[in-house]
Amino acid sequence: MDLIAKIEILDSTLREGEQTPGVSFSINEKVALAKRLDAFGVDFIELGHPAVSPDVYEAVEALNDLDLNGKKMAHGRASKSDINDVVAIGVGWMGFFFGTSPLSLKHKFNVTKSEALNRIETAVKYGKDNGLKLRFTAEDASRTDIDFLIQVGQLVQLAGADRFSLADTVGCLTPAKTKELVNCIVCELDIPVHIHCHNDFGMATANALSALEVGAQCVDVAVNGLGERCGLPPLAEVVTSLVNLYKVNGDWDLGMIPELTELVTSFSKLESTDNQPIVGKNAFSHKAGLHVKAVVKDPKSYEAISPESLNRKRTLVIDKYTGRAAIENKFKSLGFAYKKHDVTAVLNMIKSRPEKVDWTNEELISHIKSIGIQV
Ligand code: COA
Ligand code: ZN
């Protein structure tokens, strides 16, 4: 494993996140989110693509006026007009893209490879002549012929690009293919390599981490995994994996993850599912008797990451899967003195109501009292 010393996180919630069907953030929401993302410690914040609409243009202006620690990056096509927008607004970094796969060359641009190289080189030189720091993204890189992709990378590097980004635009990479691709590009270039993954097969996070394992420097994420179709790697999954599984010491405030999730849930109006890793309602809930018994003794028994490190709380679910240890734990936490047969009585009652999937404390207290057990 070849993780580079300073892994960077680029948050694309404000840019690609707004490409999620059903989502449109107001400028105020974008400003509020950018401030919290910056406090969390992302290295780059993608502000948006000014050419999309007047409100996105205005948002990029407002975001660029913020005093942030992270680097601000505007997004656009490899065209003079998009570069001019970014220069006019005064954003320091621009990320522009050009589709390099046969499908893109034919259907999007109707150009030959050498015409594409010309357009890309012209755009990079134009951006650099205008004082921009540049990330060039090979859109659909994962379906681009590898020799051509290397040629594009070397060309943009020579023309002055500061970063080269590989986009798995349709999410068709696997972790093994990602490693092969990224390793090959990292070996051919001197500038840092970025990775942009999509979750069409549910492999965005695994692919992004695989890219970092072989020398990519920066990974694109979005809060709650927003983005076109099935979205980008979720910020929470990538960052907690880096810290907990890869032992990376980033300056990221993991305790802010629930806040970021709630903010983006409320602005995007898209709820995450209960079993979503890290941020889902069930991520730190334990249910079966055996599990709860072990967790009460040592949470590590069934937790690879502690909820406290994420400013979250552990919950123990009471239903028909509950065992004696969970009920004894309940009696104690609710302040009841109990005997062995009391535990059996409460358990029998719970198991006779299989349709009830989460007993609340109030319901349990009322039942405990009804069978004559006192505090
Ligand atoms: N680099 C340079 N030129 C590009 C380009 C690229 N990556 N992509 C498209 N163009 C050119 C087209 O060839 C076309 O040129 P022409 O007018 O000479 O024929 C022109 O730009 C208009 O293209 P297009 O983007 O298709 O226009 P549109 O009106 O359909 O969409 C936007 C304009 C801004 C909405 C669109 O670019 C967009 O959807 N942007 C946000 C999404 C995005 O950035 N996706 C890619 C990364 S995830
Ligand atoms: Zn994308």
User: What does the alpha-carbon distance between residue 182 and residue 213 come to, in Å, rounded to a whole number?
Assistant: 9
Nearest protein CA to atom 25 of ligand 1, as residue: 77
- State the catalytic residue, choosing from 75, 291, 341, 367: 291
Residue whose pair of structure tokens reads 């405030």 in the numeric block: 253
Q: What is the pLDDT of residues 196-211, one digit of tens each?
A: 999 999 999 999 999 9
17-31 mean pLDDT:
98
Q: Which residues line ligand 1 (CB under 6 A)?
A: 16, 49, 51-52, 75, 77-79, 97-98, 109, 139
| Reported pTM | 0.96
Ligand nearest to the CA of 15: 1
Q: Confidence band (pLDDT; 50, 70, 90) for 3?
A: confident
Cβ proximity of 91 and 79 under 8 Å? no
Dihedral sign from CA coordinates of 225, 223, 20, 132: negative
User: What does the alpha-carbon distance between residue 112 and residue 109 come to, in Å, rounded to a whole number?
Assistant: 9
271 CA → ligand 2 middle, Å: 21
Query: For ligand 1, what atom is nearest to the CA of residue 169?
Result: 48
User: b/e for 55-73, b at 16 or more Cβ within 10 A?
Assistant: ebbebbbbbbeeebebbbb
Q: Confidence band (pLDDT; 50, 70, 90) for 375?
A: low
Structural tokens at position 93: 């970094």
Ligand nearest to the CA of 98: 1
Query: For ligand 1, what atom is nearest to the CA of residue 228?
Result: 48
Q: Confidence band (pLDDT; 50, 70, 90) for 114?
A: very high
Structural tokens at position 303: 């937790």
User: What does the alpha-carbon distance between residue 324 and residue 318 come to, in Å, rounded to a whole number?
Assistant: 11
Classify residue 105 by its DSSP letter: I
CATH superfamily membership of 8-268: Aldolase class I (3.20.20.70)
125 CA → ligand 1 middle, Å: 19
Please, where in the chain does CATH 3.20.20.70 lie?
A: 8-268
Q: What is the mean pLDDT of the chain?
A: 96
Nearest protein CA to atom 26 of ligand 1, as residue: 108
Q: What is the pLDDT of residues 210-264, one digit of tens each?
A: 999 999 999 999 999 999 999 999 999 999 999 999 999 999 999 999 999 999 9
User: What does the alpha-carbon distance between residue 9 and residue 4 come to, in Å, rounded to a whole number?
Assistant: 13
User: What does the alpha-carbon distance between residue 258 and residue 8 come to, in Å, rounded to a whole number?
Assistant: 21
User: What does the alpha-carbon distance between residue 264 and residue 223 come to, in Å, rounded to a whole number?
Assistant: 7
Residue whose pair of structure tokens reads 């096509």 in the numeric block: 77
139 CA → ligand 1 middle, Å: 12
Least Cα distance to 57 among 96, 80, 17, 84 occurs for: 84
Cβ proximity of 175 and 207 under 8 Å? yes
**Axis-axis angle for helices 27-40, 257-268 (nearest 10):** 170
215 CA → ligand 2 middle, Å: 21
84-98 mean pLDDT:
98
Cβ proximity of 284 and 315 under 8 Å? yes
Query: For ligand 1, what atom is nearest to the CA of residue 196?
Result: 48
Residue whose pair of structure tokens reads 């913020």 in the numeric block: 66
Q: Is 107 a catalytic residue?
A: no
Least Cα distance to 71 among 132, 161, 10 occurs for: 10
Query: For ligand 1, what atom is nearest to the CA of residue 137?
Result: 47
